[in-house]
């Protein structure tokens, strides 16, 4: 049985009558508490984060990330920031794509534990340069205006407190002609698959999280955060409202995930 319908993302972000509340999964919490709660989730799962991604998606997340990097088509000399990319998965792919003459990719994540995992992965892979690791909030990026040619964020936007602030920050740090790409879970478009995916998300994922990562509740939150995230058209409208032009969407795996692209003109 699917979970009961929940309020829309928009009403949750407004907190209805209380502008100081937001959503944390299916719970309503004070805005001031959410970032700390999200940080605690990722502190708990950081050591097994990449393993869990492989297990949860049967490795398909690798194809989704490859699709985003392919669509971006990064080139040597471009300055790129990957937000909420603490374990380095996207940054490493872009560096491999750009080759030895690549400009270092900046990885910005609010969670220090995730960044530690990324640094350790880089060392294990012999990547002693090429990545700049920065601890920072997607809603208040620690970078000057018009600093990057491209901004990417994969499976991170749904965890911010204010999506519109994060998108506005993304546009702010992009140079004119810069591009934002967001890879995120979205609304399943295939009949029957949507019900199977709901059952998998709310029954299997928490069980798997408890078994492998030792934290069932963290993966229950992740499943809830996916359900609460705006669908493809709604996120596209948020991007347009934030000032992005030529917004396009590519659905992946029947809409389980989607890539949104927008330009700062």
Assigned architecture for domain 9-263: 3-Layer(aba) Sandwich (3.40)
Alpha carbon distance 4, 152 (integer Å): 33
pLDDT score at 183: 97
pLDDT at 27 over 80: no
The mean pLDDT value of the chain amounts to 87
pLDDT per residue as tens digits for the range 89-98: 999 999 999 9
pTM, rounded to two decimals: 0.84
Alpha carbon distance 231, 57 (integer Å): 20
Alpha carbon distance 102, 229 (integer Å): 34
Neighbours of 75 (CB within 10 A): 15
pLDDT score at 209: 77
pLDDT per residue as tens digits for the range 196-247: 988 888 888 888 878 877 777 877 888 888 888 999 999 999 999 999 999 9
Q: What are the two backbone dihedrals, phi and then psi, of residue 34, each rounded to the nearest 5 degrees?
A: -65, -45
pLDDT score at 13: 42
Q: Are 165 and 243 in contact (CB under 8 A)?
A: no
* Structural element, H or E, at residue 163: helix 163-173
């Amino acid at each position: 049985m699917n979970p009961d319908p929940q309020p829309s993302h928009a009403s949750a972000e407004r907190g209805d009558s209380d502008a100081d509340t937001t959503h944390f999964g299916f719970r309503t919490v004070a805005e001031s508490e959410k970032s700390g709660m999200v940080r605690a989730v990722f502190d708990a799962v950081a050591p097994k984060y990449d393993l869990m991604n492989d297990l949860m998606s049967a490795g398909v997340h690798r194809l989704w990330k490859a699709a985003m990097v392919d669509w971006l088509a990064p080139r040597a000399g471009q300055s790129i920031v990957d937000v909420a990319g603490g374990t380095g998965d996207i940054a490493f792919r872009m560096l491999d794509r750009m080759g030895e003459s690549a400009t270092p990719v900046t990885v910005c994540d609010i969670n220090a534990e995730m960044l530690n995992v990324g640094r350790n992965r880089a060392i294990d892979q012999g990547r002693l340069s090429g990545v700049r690791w920065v601890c920072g909030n997607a809603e208040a990026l620690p970078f000057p205006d018009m600093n990057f040619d491209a901004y990417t964020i994969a499976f991170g936007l749904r965890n911010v407190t204010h999506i519109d602030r994060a998108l506005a920050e993304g546009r702010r740090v992009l140079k004119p002609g810069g591009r934002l790409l967001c890879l995120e879970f979205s609304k399943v478009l295939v009949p029957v698959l949507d019900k199977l995916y709901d059952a998998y998300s709310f029954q299997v994922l928490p069980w798997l999280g408890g078994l492998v990562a030792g934290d069932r509740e963290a993966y229950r939150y992740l499943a809830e955060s996916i359900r609460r995230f705006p669908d493809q058209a709604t996120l596209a409208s948020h991007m347009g409202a934030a000032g992005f032009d030529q917004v396009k969407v590519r659905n992946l795996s029947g809409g389980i995930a989607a890539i949104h692209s927008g330009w700062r003109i």
